[in-house]
Structure 1
Amino acid sequence: MCRIKTATYRSGLSHVAVQHARVLGIMATLAVLSACSLAPGERMVQPPTLPVSNTDDGQATGAQQVPITDITLATVQQLRQQQPTVVSGGANDLTPLFGDAGPYKIGPGDVLQITVWDHPELAAALGQPIGPTRAADPTLGFVVDHEGNVQFPYVGSLHVAGESTEEVQRRISGDLGKVMVKPQVTVRIASFRASQIYIDGEVRAPGSQSINDIPMTLTEAINRAGGFAPTADQGRVVIVRGDKTYFVDVAQMLHNNQNPSKIVLQNGDLLRVEAREDYGVYVMGEVNKPATVLPMRNGKLSLADAISQAGSINPTSADAKQLYVIRGGPDKQPQVWHLDATSPVSMLLAKQFELEPKDVVYVDAGGLVRFSRVLDLLLPLINAGLTGAIIAK
């Protein structure tokens, strides 16, 4: 009796194993077929479609095809021609920023030091410090008032705003010549407080900088702020003047043999140096170190640079033929580029293909790797089901 039961149990177990093998074979076949059918790239017969919103309430009113374009030498040259390389014309015309800096013009708030030689009694007009001084206190001298006037003995009120020190010196000498014999007058600016600019962003010492007798050019302003910080994007320097904003690519200007010192800043200008971390590119998929990679210090980032910063393509799991660059945004036309990274020429194309901020670089996995990952998900369920069947039996 016991032998009959044992045989029956073994027969049932064998039947369960056979059923398990059949189920596993069917699921493996389906997984292989599905993995092959989902592989992107050249296997795709029709390009994907994305809904596009054409109404104010954000509802999609239609569908728009997003074709996949292969990265070739012609594609790289076409994209390079679309990049702006001039500083005049267009929406970002930098012509108003260029000019020749002349002599410093006196303005309200400046402190003048006026010396009349051989007349020490006029030195008392400079004043004497009263109590401890602070950094914000003006230097001893003649302060130009808000109307641009200055008071001096034997001369009275003199309007000096908008004039150079040489012009003021000649005017004071002429007025003092009416009461003195050949007066020798020296005029210099003891404190520059009339004009200043504001420097913000990725510089070593951000803050306000006073405009003095040294022309406040773009390079002079950056040098006074301690130079670019290591996190600075030298390709994205913003100058705000009044109600207009200008975008200056310092690295590109140097590449084009254009001197940034020709850009002269004015009173009230805001200079901001953008950070590289604000213009990163996302590298995903089968790379060794998926991450958000940052552009170089000149603001440029090629596809080869992005792959290199992500630790290169994973040789054990990636399908190097399926490398994609996905570009798009709320106000941009979606675009997808494809590169076969197995070709020897592909790295040359990747080096010349310039990425834009917020681009997505995606490296797809190989078919066998995806099949293996599907099995990794299914096998625990199959094993659990088999174990439950054995226990129930």
Structure 2
Amino acid sequence: MDFSKKLLFSAVASLFLAGCTVVPGSHLSLPDNKQQDDNDAFSVSEQVNVYPLTPSVIRQFKRPEVLARTNPVLDAEISAYEYYIGPGDILNITIWDHPELTIPAGSYRSSSESGNWVHADGTIFYPYIGTVQVGGKTVTQVRDEISRRLAAFIESPQVDVNVAAFRSQKAYVTGEVNTPGQQPITNVPLTLLDAINRAGGLAKEADWRNVTLTRQGGEQPISLYALMQRGDLTQNRLLRPGDIIHVPRNDAQKVFVMGEVNAPQLLKIDRAGMTLTEALSSVGGINELEADATGVFVIRNVQKPTQSIHQGSLAQNSTQSSAQTNKVMADIYQLNIQDAAALVLGTEFELEPYDVVYVTAAPIARWNRVIRQLLPTITGFNQLTEGALRVRDW
């Protein structure tokens, strides 16, 4: 019996010595020499960068606050705006004291029905003067030309020209708005904000931080959050014919909360954004019995096409950073919440799409998992040994 106990003890001891290889589940361990200080951001690891979330580091990584601003460029464009006639438009031309040239006798049709339709080649036909090229011109230019040419038939003609129907130029609003579709470009300047409002506003699942404006094959990123929530008018644009405004779904606005939390799950970032503390709160907080409060990590893939938030005091390392861009796979941010007051730091750290929030297990929790794995083996061994001894005694 003494021999069997020694054999059992040897087996268990060998398993304990190899505990790192038999601990179930995942774990993230970062020794002190993996953490990078503020002065030497890329001297330690070629695969990951580790940043402890301290007040000074939080200030470095915090995004610049979006402030309300005016847009002098847009104001100047609106002040100088003129509508240029195009094919499909209908013009209403009035010659004062000459009703026979304005609306044919006996006609009770509207201006858009009885007006002069602009043909595909940009011309219209008008009595006495024949074909008039109006495409690409303003109503003022068209009025001046018609007046000049009618002067050969009518003494001092008084001419008025306006667009009865705007059909030649359109912008388009697509994606997560309540009424997507085309928006006519008229003689009243149409801005991006106007077009969104005319489309019924944003739908529930809209991602208003990553709107795109496509113009002549190029894309411009637009933040409706900055424009509509913060009053940053520099995000607004004067729309031109053929512009496409696309409001995407917020499907990509998600983070993953895993590890020793009470309810691991996928979370969607709402329109106001999401901080680390908000994410932990949404999953019921950390598991107080098994979590390592020093090991709350945010793992961020630096190779995905998102704008880096590492600016400010880290700018001096830009040369080293660009040289190692292909080597570094992820940035890891570590928050120590042994003192619960440190959660206030988490309220200042904003999460980005596809961040992974991981809370690692405490050493005692990992030890208990090893024990739970060994218990069936120990119990079975004891039963086998006791049975053998009973047979031998018999």
Deviations 1:45-104 (A, max 9, x none): 5439xxxxxxxxxxxxxx8253422101211221236x697999xxxxx99888523132
Distance 2:135 2:287 in 1: 68
Structure 2, unaligned runs of 5 or more: 36-44, 305-324
1:151 aligns with 2:125: yes
Structure 2 counterpart of 1:323, which letter? Answer: V
Distance 1:235 1:365 in 2: 35
Pick aligned residue for 2:185 from 179, 194, 211: 211
Q: CA deviation at 1:373?
A: 2.8
Q: Are the counterparts in 2 of residues 302 and 353 from structure 1 also a CA contact under 8 Å?
A: yes
Secondary structure, counterpart of 2:77 in structure 1 = coil
Decide which moves more: 303-312 or 247-256.
247-256
Q: Are the counterparts in 2 of residues 139 and 191 from structure 1 also a CA contact under 8 Å?
A: no
Aligned to 1:369: 365
1:304 aligns with 2:277: yes
Q: CA deviation at 1:28?
A: 8.1
Aligned to 1:59: none
Distance 2:140 2:231 in 1: 36
Q: Are the counterparts in 2 of residues 239 and 248 from structure 1 also a CA contact under 8 Å?
A: yes
1:168 aligns with 2:145: no
Structure 2 counterpart of 1:210, which letter? Answer: P
Q: 1:366 to 1:170 in 2, by over 3 A?
A: same
Secondary structure, counterpart of 2:364 in structure 1 = helix
1:47 aligns with 2:26: no
Q: 1:336 to 1:366 in 2, by over 3 A?
A: same
Q: Are the counterparts in 2 of residues 149 and 157 from structure 1 also a CA contact under 8 Å?
A: yes
Pick aligned residue for 2:50 from 49, 68, 71: 68
Aligned to 1:119: 99
Q: 1:119 to 1:39 in 2, by over 3 A?
A: closer
Identity of aligned residues (%): 30
Distance 2:235 2:149 in 1: 39
Aligned to 1:291: 265
Q: Are the counterparts in 1 of residues 226 and 235 from structure 2 also a CA contact under 8 Å?
A: no
Aligned to 1:55: none
Pick aligned residue for 1:355 from 351, 354, 360: 351
Q: Are the counterparts in 1 of residues 139 and 162 from structure 2 also a CA contact under 8 Å?
A: yes
Larger RCO: Structure 1 or Structure 2 (Cα < 8 Å, ≥ 6 residues apart)?
A: 2
Q: Are the counterparts in 2 of residues 323 and 341 from structure 1 also a CA contact under 8 Å?
A: yes
Q: Are the counterparts in 2 of residues 126 and 142 from structure 1 also a CA contact under 8 Å?
A: no
Secondary structure, counterpart of 2:287 in structure 1 = coil
Secondary structure, counterpart of 1:235 in structure 2 = coil
Q: Are the counterparts in 2 of residues 113 and 190 from structure 1 also a CA contact under 8 Å?
A: yes
Distance 2:288 2:341 in 1: 18
Deviations 1:1-54 (A, max 9, x none): xxxxxxxxxxx7x986x579747864785587886xx97556x25439xxxxxx
Decide which moves more: 338-347 or 220-229.
338-347
Pick aligned residue for 1:106 from 58, 73, 85: 85
Deviations 1:311-337 (A, max 9, x none): 322333322221001112446632111
Distance 1:303 1:125 in 2: 74
Q: Are the counterparts in 2 of residues 47 and 68 from structure 1 also a CA contact under 8 Å?
A: yes
Structure 1 counterpart of 2:56, which letter? Answer: A
Q: 1:338 to 1:116 in 2, by over 3 A?
A: same
Distance 2:298 2:124 in 1: 65
Pick aligned residue for 2:293 from 309, 320, 324: 320
Structure 1 counterpart of 2:99, which letter? Answer: H
Distance 2:113 2:343 in 1: 62
Secondary structure, counterpart of 2:153 in structure 1 = coil
1:337 aligns with 2:324: no
Q: 1:109 to 1:20 in 2, by over 3 A?
A: farther
Secondary structure, counterpart of 2:210 in structure 1 = strand
Q: CA RMSD in A?
A: 3.9
Deviations 1:150-209 (A, max 9, x none): 112223111212333344344434444543466565433233222112222221222222
The TM-score, its normalising length taken from structure 2, stands at 0.73
Distance 2:248 2:300 in 1: 21
The TM-score, its normalising length taken from structure 1, stands at 0.73
Following superposition of structure 1 onto structure 2, how do residues 250-265 of structure 1 map, counting pairs within 5 Å? 250-253=224-227, 257-259=231-233, 262-265=236-239
Q: 1:124 to 1:380 in 2, by over 3 A?
A: farther
Q: Are the counterparts in 1 of residues 52 and 335 from structure 2 also a CA contact under 8 Å?
A: yes
